[in-house]
């Protein structure tokens, strides 16, 4: 009996969007201290790169975990069309409440993609710039209850 | 434990066709990948071996040795080949990224003498890759 293998497939998508990191219930000084230049009032944007990883059984008839003919239009409809060339704070309803940090965008993308029918969503990885990236696999850890530590860095 | 990754590239042709599907079904399922003349990719293969460094050499395994294994087992079999016709290990399978990655795992796994094969990552294009790992015990698919 040969060793059981686990196979996953990762596909990259891209979207460009603007956002502003601020909390309306914080003072301007507090927003500046916590979010730094990411809190500038007119917002700013990024070219986001999104990696979507799915796993599951490789169908012997197709050789595929998921047909890109299904995955691509699903991600396009659920995420790319909704986020691309948008001001996330105002044009994506979830970010009228939640601050559109890459962490929160990552979780929102995971929530939107989780129902993809033919395969199991393993992970989403969101690259905001070439220097920072964020991953979410659906696991909720314990929240760090310490006060937010503003770094002033976007 | 340390994970060591070595990369090689190979270029190959393939197309997707299931002989038990009708022509129409092949086109519907596989789209333009069903074009019978085939098409090709510059594949990038990243192979990760995990283990403890040998105290004498400071190495998990000799990367030159790993490079030779990758060249012999994968490069010589697949580089500048048509995956549907020229790679017996893929016979009867659709040569998707998922299937090629599994074939590569099974070719390499017995050849890694020091450390353990940890992951095979096969990039078909800069926007698509498959990962193959050993399924941990009790893990359902």
Cβ of B29 and A62 within 8 Å? yes
Tell me which residue of B135, B66, B140, B127 sits closest to B97, measured CA to CA: B127
- Chain B partners within 8 Å of A73 (Cβ): none
* Complex ipTM more than 0.95, yes or no: no
Spatial neighbors of A31 by CB under 8 A, at least 6 apart, are A21, A22, A23, A39
Question: Buried b vs exposed e over A102-132: b needs ≥16 C-beta within 10 Å?
Answer: bebbbbbbbebbeebeebbbbbbbbbbeeee
Backbone angles phi, psi at A150, to 5 degrees: -70, 130
B87 contacts chain A (CB < 8 A):
no
- Chain A partners within 8 Å of B135 (Cβ): 3-6
Candidate from A5, A11, A13 with C-beta closest to B132: A5
Spatial neighbors of B101 by CB under 8 A, at least 6 apart, are A7, B120, B121, B122, B130, B131, B132
Contacts 24+ apart (CB under 8 A), B91-94: B93/A60, B93/A63, B94/A62, B94/A63, B94/A64, B94/B16, B94/B17, B94/B18
Quick check: A114 pLDDT over 50? yes
In angstroms, the CA A99 to CA A109 distance is 14
Give A32-85 pLDDT, tens digit per residue. 999 999 999 999 999 999 999 999 999 999 999 999 999 999 999 999 999 999
pLDDT grade, residue B138 (50/70/90)? low
In angstroms, the CA B134 to CA B141 distance is 12
B91 contacts chain A (CB < 8 A):
no
Cβ atoms of residues B46 and B6 within 8 Å:
yes
pLDDT grade, residue A147 (50/70/90)? low
Backbone angles phi, psi at B119, to 5 degrees: -160, 140
Quick check: B42 pLDDT over 90? yes
Give B95-118 pLDDT, tens digit per residue. 999 999 999 999 999 999 999 999
Number of neighbours of residue A19 by Cβ within 10 angstroms: 25
In angstroms, the CA B79 to CA A67 distance is 25
Spatial neighbors of B108 by CB under 8 A, at least 6 apart, are B47, B69, B70, B73, B74, B117, B120
Give B48-66 pLDDT, tens digit per residue. 999 999 999 999 999 999 9
Q: Average pLDDT over chain A, rounded to whole?
A: 92
Q: Average pLDDT over chain B, rounded to whole?
A: 95
B72 contacts chain A (CB < 8 A):
no
Res B63: pLDDT: 94
For residue A152, what are the CA distances in angstroms to A56, B101, B122?
41, 43, 39
| Residues of B with catalytic roles | 33, 80, 124
Candidate from B99, B127, B141 with C-beta closest to A57: B141
Res A1: pLDDT: 53
B103 contacts chain A (CB < 8 A):
no
**Which of A1, A12, A58, A118 to probe by mutation at the B interface, max B CB count within 10 Å?**
A58
In angstroms, the CA B92 to CA B112 distance is 27
Res A140: pLDDT: 86
Quick check: A146 pLDDT over 80? no
Cβ of B99 and A4 within 8 Å? no
Cβ of B98 and A63 within 8 Å? yes
Candidate from B20, B93, B134 with C-beta closest to A3: B134
Q: A133-147, B22-36, B80-94: which range is least confident on average? A: A133-147
Question: Buried b vs exposed e over B83-120: b needs ≥16 C-beta within 10 Å?
Answer: bbeebebbeebbbbbbbbbbbbbbbbbeebeebebbbb
- From A44's Cα to the closest Cα of chain B, the distance in A is 26
Res B118: pLDDT: 98
Average of pLDDT values for A93-117? 96
Res A143: pLDDT: 77
Average of pLDDT values for B38-57? 96
Quick check: A151 pLDDT over 50? no
């Amino acid at each position: 009996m040969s060793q059981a293998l686990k196979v996953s497939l990762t596909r990259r998508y891209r979207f460009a969007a603007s956002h502003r990191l601020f909390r309306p219930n914080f003072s301007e000084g507090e927003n500046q201290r916590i979010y730094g230049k990411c809190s500038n009032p007119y917002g700013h944007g990024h070219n986001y790169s999104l990696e979507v990883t799915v796993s599951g059984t490789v169908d012997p008839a197709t050789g595929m975990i998921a047909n890109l003919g299904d995955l691509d239009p699903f991600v396009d409809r659920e995420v790319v069309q909704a986020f691309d060339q948008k001001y996330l704070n105002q044009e994506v309803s979830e970010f009228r409440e939640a601050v559109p940090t890459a962490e929160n965008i990552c979780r929102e993308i995971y929530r939107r993609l989780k129902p993809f029918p033919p395969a199991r969503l393993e992970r989403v990885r969101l690259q905001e710039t070439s220097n920072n990236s964020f991953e979410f696999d659906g696991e909720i850890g314990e929240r760090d209850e310490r006060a937010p530590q503003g770094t002033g860095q976007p | 434990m340390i994970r060591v990754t070595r990369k090689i590239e190979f270029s190959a042709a393939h197309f997707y066709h299931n002989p038990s599907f009708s022509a129409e079904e092949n086109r519907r399922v596989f789209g333009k990948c069903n074009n019978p003349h085939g098409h090709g990719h510059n594949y990038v293969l990243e192979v990760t071996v995990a283990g403890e460094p040998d105290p004498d050499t400071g190495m998990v395994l000799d990367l030159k040795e790993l490079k030779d294994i990758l060249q012999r087992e994968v490069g010589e079999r697949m580089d500048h080949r048509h995956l549907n016709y020229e790679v017996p290990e893929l016979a009867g399978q659709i040569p998707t990224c998922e299937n090629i990655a599994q074939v590569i795992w099974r070719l390499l796994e017995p050849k890694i003498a020091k450390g353990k094969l940890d992951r095979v990552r096969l990039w078909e294009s800069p926007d698509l890759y498959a990962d193959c790992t050993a399924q941990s015990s009790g893990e359902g698919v």
